Amino acid sequence: MTNLSTTYMGLKLKNPIIISSSGLTNNVKDIVELESKGAGAIVTKSLFEEEIIIETHENLNKMHASGFVYPETTEYFDFDRMEDTVSNYLKFLVDSKKSVQIPVIASVNCVSSEGWTDFAKRIEDTGVDGLELNVFRLPANFNSNSDDNEKVYFDIIDKIISTIKLPIALKIGFYHSNLGYFIKQLSQTQIKSIVLFNRFYNPDFDIHTLHFTSSNVFSNPSEMSMSLRWIAIMANRVSCDLSASGGIHDGSAVIKQLLAGARTVQLCSTLYKHGNDQIASILSQLEQWMIEKDYKTIDEFRGKMGQSRTFDPKVFERVQFMKYLRNMD
Ligand SMILES: Cc1cc2nc3c(=O)[nH]c(=O)nc-3n(C[C@H](O)[C@H](O)[C@H](O)COP(=O)(O)O)c2cc1C
């Protein structure tokens, strides 16, 4: 019998497929359906730091005065409805947790450690199984260096760890100086997982109307190479779990990430494109491959192609196409 179960952030999952934070995990009915289709766990749609801060006007005014909130935030948000957003989110977490057996991981999108971290206690009180923090600061501030930018991540972790006991995952982007060192340092805090990587909204514009548009809301399978490289490089070198995210669209992508060393994989674009039955299809490809290779458990092959264990570790550091360009002459 093939056993697809795994642990993640100290939680037991029946399989390593986590449905990532997105519009697919935004209401209880959809979460119940994702469980029935085979998901191992779900990460709920994020609550945003600014939504939490705006919950109390007094708090917002303080934050605004000290420059933590963008000026346009006050114009963009509807304050009266915002309190509903936050209390509805907490109710949604309570109801989701009651409605499914699989782990429910809440999510907060944040850029600072100020003004919102006490709120994490209210998330913990809903009974959810974990909290994923989606932290992303575009390193485009010309007046601060990379140390200043990266310190914020550690400040957020310190505050959250001292506030709640829930297992914490940190979802990060790849814009960091010395990414390997940064990931290793993060893993040595008390967080339980690092999610590699967040995929962000990218601006684009129309050349005819000169209006801004958003480009490629959904990923494509070629995007997986970024997380595959970094999961493989960091596996066995970090002190917490790694969850792969970005461009994972089918069973072979899941198998590759597990071989690279991921403990779980997170996906959503493939479900937007192909529907929730894709979960069963991916699980069946994984199971079939394990049967062919005679693996009974995921631990038997996890990390086998990670850089620290593979026969050709240099392959993950090769970045130039020299050979291919020569062949084209
Ligand atoms: C429509 C949509 C909404 C998303 N909303 C969130 C969000 O609220 N919080 C978050 O951390 N990530 C969010 N994401 C990013 C996904 O969780 C995921 O990291 C990203 O899409 C990469 O996975 P994929 O290649 O399977 O799409 C969203 C993605 C999509 C497509």
pLDDT in tens, 45-86: 999 888 888 775 555 555 555 544 444 455 445 555 556 889
Q: What is the pLDDT of residue 167?
A: 98
Q: Ligand 1 pocket: which of 26, 133, 136, 199 to mutate (most atoms <8 Å of CB)?
A: 199
Instruction: Give the nearest ligand 1 atom to 43 CA.
Output: 17
d(CA 185, CA 179): 10
Spatial neighbors of 65 by CB under 8 A, at least 6 apart, are none
The separation between the first and the last C-alpha atoms of the chain, rounded to the nearest angstrom, is 52
pLDDT in tens, 127-168: 999 999 999 878 888 888 888 889 999 999 999 999 999 999
Residue 310 alpha carbon to ligand 1 centre in Å: 31
Q: Are 130 and 103 in contact (CB under 8 A)?
A: yes
Q: Which residues of the chain have pLDDT under 70?
A: 56-83, 319-329
Question: Which of 227, 157, 232, 142 is closest to 187 using CA atoms?
Answer: 157
Strands of the chain (E only): list them: 6-8, 11-13, 17-19, 41-43, 47-48, 104-110, 130-135, 168-172, 193-196, 202-205, 212-215, 241-245, 264-267
Q: Whose CA is nearest to atom 30 of ligand 1?
A: 22
Q: Are 98 and 31 in contact (CB under 8 A)?
A: no
**Domains of the chain from N-terminus onward:** 6-327 (3.20.20.70)
Could you tell me the maximum CA-CA distance found in the chain, to the nearest angstrom? 66
d(CA 122, CA 106): 11
Peptide bond into 321 cis (omega under 30): no
Task: Note if the pTM is more than 0.85.
Answer: yes
- Ligand 1-lining residues (CB < 6 angstroms): 20-23, 45-46, 107, 109, 134, 171, 198-199, 217-219, 245-248, 267-269
d(CA 242, CA 43): 15
Instruction: Give the nearest ligand 1 atom to 171 CA.
Output: 11
Residue 228 alpha carbon to ligand 1 centre in Å: 17
Neighbours of 307 (CB within 10 A): 23
Q: Ligand 1 pocket: which of 21, 214, 265 to mutate (most atoms <8 Å of CB)?
A: 21
